[in-house]
Amino acid sequence: MSLSHHHLNTNILPTLSATIPTPFPLVFSAPIVSFLSFISYSPLSLPSSPPIFSPFPSSLPTRKKMATAFSPSKFAAQPFPLNTTSQNNPLTIPTTASPFLGSTRKLIRLSSSSNLNIRRRSGTVVAVSDVVKENKSKSTLNLLITKEEGLELYEDMVLGRAFEDMCAQMYYRGKMFGFVHLYNGQEAISTGFIKLLKQQDSVVSTYRDHVHALSKGVSARAVMSELFGKTTGCCRGQGGSMHMFSREHNVLGGFAFIGEGIPVATGAAFTSKYKREVLKEADCDHVTLAFFGDGTCNNGQFFECLNMAALWKLPIVFVVENNLWAIGMSHLRATSDPQIYKKGPAFGMPGVHVDGMDVLKVREVAKEAIGRARRGEGPTLVECETYRFRGHSLADPDELRDPAEKAHYAARDPITALKKYLIENSLASEADLKAIDKKIDEVVEEAVEFADESPVPPRSQLLENVFADPKGFGIGPDGQYRCEDPKFTEGTAQV
């Protein structure tokens, strides 16, 4: 989704000195610091360390267990080739434009077992879509979703699309400022994963975070107000487009720098496991989803957190939203091995590739991955191959991508595909879906009106929620914020 540099972020890490357990070395890499910053808000009395530190002594797998339970060959014995016409050299990148990086590969249909096995059966792996076709003439009991589930998925995807389209209008009308990155085309991933979560489960997003927040239950009003910079926003107008956060809904933030949220997500998963196994909170089976893009997968935080999550069997799912472009850099040009899912087995966790333009396929994979995490079976890496319908941000004229490529993916619109599935399988009528469309249009219009009428934050809010007030600047002798002094902006206030 992005290259290794991105937008300025003002996040401040808390002091770690009081909470660093002795088994850790004194020098930390950036991901370790970010991970520890998440769990450092409440000091943890970690167990005494074995030769290799683990806060969960029983979770450190033996060499024998690793060989049987987390053998890379078990999850990716035969890596999917990028081009099935080149079977003798499966890692050869096609010289001609491929309509879809994964279109020549059959996607695995997950079994009901707890393991996400990738197996080659007579050279062909069955796709979820193939199973759907086979079952069309059978009873509706064989359908992948119920009517209620189908309508919920459709409504959430339509909300995401309509909301982002409205964001584009408001941005060009001057209602929003800074960078705004839209999610159009990728809705199947957010909906397919997040609608399976519990309220207590956590989501960590990127700078393309509006729709993730909406799927998790943050109201359209709160997200739109945040984009408008108003006090009624989910961050009181201080976060903006790239920093959606909601404690109530366990949305732990969007992050402007790529890879920045992965250590935070790993820390959230650590917290869940620590509560369950050390603090003995038996009902704590919370799962964390970490969303990030293909450009992030070449960064160090990604690899370090995969290692840590696999070592401690943390309840986390790493969701790669591979939209094939990192700003203006093609994924095929930037990555030595474009098959990101294969990096999972390298760390002893399942790696799965799925068509991210099909919400039903995504949902089937998500069920297994989230289920594994909730059962304490450890992390999963899921590569969702998708495509964004707009430029990298609303400031991007999107002139680098081939118009034919964009037209190809527009024809694979995930909302259109779900609508067709619902109607063909008698799960919904045209009238049902039109009613949802109308409802969502009203929700988005009302969100804009609410955001536009909401007040802007007072200047005093600038100095709230900082870890240490600037000495001699923020608060005066009378306990009031100095910036409230009318002379403050004139530069004549006594400081």
Dihedral angle of Cα 479, 481, 482, 486, to the nearest 10 degrees: -120
In this prediction, residue 28 carries a pLDDT of 38
Q: Is residue 24 predicted with pLDDT exceeding 90?
A: no
Q: Which residues, in sequence order, are bridge partners of residue 351?
A: 381
Q: Which residues, in sequence order, are bridge partners of residue 427?
A: none
How many Cα atoms within 13 Å fall on the side-chain side of residue 101? 26
pLDDT greater at residue 353 or residue 473: 353
Confidence of residue 462 (pLDDT cuts 50, 70, 90): confident
Task: Determine how β-strand 325-326 pairs with β-strand 380-385.
Answer: unpaired
Percent over 70 (pLDDT), the chain:
65
Superfamily of the domain at 147-457: Thiamin diphosphate (ThDP)-binding fold, Pyr/PP domains (3.40.50.970)
Which pair of structure tokens corresponds to residue 392?
Answer: 């990298």
Q: Is residue 96 predicted with pLDDT exceeding 90?
A: no
In this prediction, residue 8 carries a pLDDT of 41
Q: Is residue 328 predicted with pLDDT exceeding 80?
A: yes
In this prediction, residue 127 carries a pLDDT of 40
In this prediction, residue 474 carries a pLDDT of 64
Mapped onto helix, strand or coil, the DSSP state of residue 326 is strand
Contact 181, 242 (CB under 8 A): yes
Q: Is residue 14 predicted with pLDDT exceeding 60?
A: no
In this prediction, residue 142 carries a pLDDT of 79
Backbone angles phi, psi at 288, to 5 degrees: -115, 135
Q: Is residue 206 predicted with pLDDT exceeding 90?
A: yes
Cα dist from 335 to 208, 220, 315, whole Å: 22, 36, 28
Mapped onto helix, strand or coil, the DSSP state of residue 318 is strand
Contact 435, 151 (CB under 8 A): no
**Domain parsing of the chain, residue ranges:** 147-457, 461-494
Q: Is residue 491 predicted with pLDDT exceeding 80?
A: no
Q: Is residue 146 predicted with pLDDT exceeding 90?
A: yes
Mean pLDDT, residues 436-455: 97
Q: Is residue 110 predicted with pLDDT exceeding 50?
A: no
Which pair of structure tokens corresponds to residue 152?
Answer: 């919920």
Mean pLDDT, residues 388-408: 93
Q: Read off the pLDDT of residues 464-489 as tens digits, 9 standing for 90 and up.
A: 777 555 545 566 667 776 666 666 65
Mean pLDDT, residues 391-402: 92
Per-chain mean pLDDT for the chain:
77
Task: Determine how β-strand 380-385 pairs with β-strand 351-355.
Answer: parallel
Helix axes 359-374, 187-194, angle to 10 degrees: 40
Cα–Cα distance, 107 to 325 (Å, whole number): 21
Q: Which residues, in sequence order, are bridge partners of residue 354?
A: 384
Q: Is residue 376 predicted with pLDDT exceeding 50?
A: yes
Cα–Cα distance, 221 to 204 (Å, whole number): 20
Mean pLDDT, residues 408-428: 96
Cα dist from 6 to 10, 220, 263, 300, 327, whole Å: 13, 26, 17, 16, 10
Among 128-142, 223-237, 422-436, which stretch is predicted with the lowest mean pLDDT?
Answer: 128-142
